[in-house]
């Protein structure tokens, strides 16, 4: 058989691929199985293996379809997949190209809800420590909801009935559909930038999980968490629970209940004021009666009946203090006079002429003492100088040289050891009366015990 009869790998693969393309049963298949080796690529594509007890098939879901998933595919998850089977020419292997994916047994929205709830809870977005207090007497209430429907009507009616002095600021908001989540997020940030509201009510009326899904989006949850204005969530009916409810500072079961939580009841406040007013009146009346009784008792008491008895001891004490002050003043004047007389007598004894003569004698004595001290110090200094001079003469190397010693230099360095010299080295020898050049003929190292 000639070589032209053989197919190339590429040709064979293309032939097999055309067979797959031509088979209508492989164009739209519904397959169920367990996810394995799930890899979510940075490009957005998802690569995984779909398997059951006895078989497995490689599968791919491209970004355009993967972006529509409301949950995150995970290892071991059982799913329903709709797609088509075809051949990947580069590897020659057939694989499943998924168009849609749903969890087996529960809906994809429910899985997505639980996955996001678990992740945000781990991050701390549901932590009660981060919840803000709802102001007790708000002046302005912001409402983020659709301008049509029962929710906005119930909220406004309830606020006007309970607390008509509060102002309502409405932010028209999409609460359902593809653009709802971005619109809710944008309006929360807008309300925070304007800073006109004391509290925000975010919500809508009831509906299916699909209808309420915008309030389960991560962007909405993070916008609520980051809001500096306290937020009351009012999504659906009492049995409906969304991610927004967990993140919000306060969760209301219905929009009407949210309005009731946002503002106090004017009638209840009025009744509280009346009760407090009545209580204060009773307290003041009781206190006045008590003070009147106390005043009457004091007015009829013995000291007030004879008031002069109250200040009589103080008058006597004042008189005694006045007499003591006068006696002390006289004694002080006498002491001053005596002191002045003593000083005057001393000043007469020590006249200026006497003081001057005494000062001259002291000066003469001090001059004589200073002169003796200087002579003694000079004698000590001469003796010390002579001792130092004798010591310097004893340490003078020239004096030693005059006794027959000399100093040898090699390359301007003093030779201190025989080990520094070698044969034919030139030396400069310094005597006490001159210099000489010398050449080393030989060296001899003194051995231990040799003289």
Measured distance CA(258)–CA(237) in Å, rounded: 11
d(CA 270, CA 279): 14
pLDDT of residue 106: 54
* Percentage above 70 pLDDT, the chain: 89
Which token pair is 341? 């007389």
Residue 440 zone, left/alpha/beta (φ > 0; ψ -120 to 50; rest) = beta
Give the count of beta carbons closer than 10 Å to the beta carbon of residue 182: 15
E-assigned strands of 332-421? 407-410, 413-414
How far apart, in whole angstroms, are the C-alpha atoms of residue 281 and residue 287? 10
Domain chopping of the chain, boundaries? 9-112, 137-264, 270-300, 396-451
Say whether pTM exceeds 0.85: no
When mean pLDDT is compared across 36-50, 116-130, 152-166, 407-421, the lowest value belongs to: 407-421
Q: 9-112 with 137-264: one CATH topology?
A: no
**pLDDT tens, 395-420?**
666 666 666 677 788 887 877 777 77
pLDDT for position 252:
92
The H or E element that residue 9 is part of is helix 9-22
Q: What is the pLDDT averaged over residues 194-202?
A: 95
- Give residue-wise pLDDT tens across range 335-387: 888 888 777 666 666 666 666 777 778 888 888 888 888 888 888 888 777 77
**Residues 130-175 pLDDT 10s:** 999 999 999 999 999 999 888 999 999 999 999 999 999 999 999 9
Give 415 or 42, the one with higher predicted confidence: 42
> DSSP label at 402?
T
pLDDT at 348: 61
Q: Which CATH class is domain 9-112?
A: mainly beta
pLDDT of 315: 75
pLDDT at 28 over 90: no
Q: What is the pLDDT of residue 311?
A: 67
Is residue 272 a contact partner of residue 145, using CB atoms and an 8 Å limit? no
% the chain with pLDDT above 90: 27
Phi, psi (deg, nearest 5) at residue 136: -75, -35
How confident is residue 3, by pLDDT bands cut at 50, 70 and 90? low
CATH 3.90.600.10 fits 137-264, yes or no: no
Q: How far apart are CA 324 and CA 66, in angstroms?
A: 108
Predicted pLDDT of residue 102: 81
pLDDT attached to residue 400: 62
pLDDT for the residue numbered 295: 83
Mean pLDDT across 241-249: 92
Contact 38, 74 (CB under 8 A): yes
């Amino acid at each position: 058989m000639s070589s032209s009869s053989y197919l190339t790998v590429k040709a064979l693969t293309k032939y097999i691929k055309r067979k797959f393309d031509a088979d209508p049963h492989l164009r739209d298949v519904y397959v169920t199985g367990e996810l394995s080796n799930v890899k979510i690529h940075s490009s957005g594509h998802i690569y995984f293996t779909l398997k059951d007890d006895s078989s497995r098939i490689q599968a791919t879901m491209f970004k355009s379809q993967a972006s529509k998933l409301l949950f995150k595919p995970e290892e071991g998850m059982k799913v329903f997949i709709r797609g088509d089977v075809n051949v990947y020419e580069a590897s020659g292997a057939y694989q499943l190209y998924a168009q849609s994916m749903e969890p087996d047994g529960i809906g994809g929205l429910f899985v997505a809800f639980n996955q996001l709830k678990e992740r945000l809870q781990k991050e701390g977005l549901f932590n009660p420590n981060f919840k803000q207090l709802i102001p007790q007497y708000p002046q302005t209430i912001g409402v983020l909801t659709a301008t049509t429907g029962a929710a906005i009507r119930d909220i406004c009616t309830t606020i006007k009935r309970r607390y008509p002095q509060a102002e309502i600021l409405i932010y028209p908001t999409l609460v359902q559909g593809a653009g709802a989540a971005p619109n809710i997020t944008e309006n929360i940030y807008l309300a925070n930038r304007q800073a006109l509201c004391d509290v925000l009510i975010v919500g809508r009326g009831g509906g299916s999980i699909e209808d309420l899904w915008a309030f389960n989006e991560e962007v909405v949850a993070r916008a609520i968490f980051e809001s500096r204005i306290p937020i009351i969530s009012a999504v659906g009916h009492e049995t409906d629970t969304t991610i927004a409810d967990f993140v919000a500072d306060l969760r209301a079961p219905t929009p009407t209940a949210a309005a009731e939580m946002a503002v106090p009841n004017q009638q209840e406040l009025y009744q509280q004021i009346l009760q407090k007013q009545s209580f204060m009146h009773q307290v003041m009346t009781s206190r006045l009666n008590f003070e009147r009784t106390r005043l009457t008792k004091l007015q009829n008491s013995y000291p007030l009946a004879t008031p002069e008895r109250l200040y009589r001891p103080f008058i006597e004490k004042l008189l005694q203090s006045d007499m003591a002050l006068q006696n002390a003043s006289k004694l002080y004047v006498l002491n001053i006079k005596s002191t002045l007389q003593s000083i005057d007598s001393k000043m007469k004894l020590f006249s200026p002429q006497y003081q001057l003569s005494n000062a001259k004698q002291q000066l003469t004595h001090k001059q004589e003492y200073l002169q003796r001290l200087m002579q003694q110090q000079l004698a000590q200094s001469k003796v010390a100088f002579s001792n130092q001079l004798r010591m310097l003469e004893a340490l003078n190397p020239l004096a030693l040289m005059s006794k027959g010693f000399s100093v040898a230099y090699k390359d301007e360095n003093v030779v201190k050891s025989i080990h520094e010299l070698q044969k034919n080295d030139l030396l400069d020898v310094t005597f006490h009366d001159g210099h000489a050049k010398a050449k080393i003929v030989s060296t001899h190292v003194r051995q231990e015990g040799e003289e």
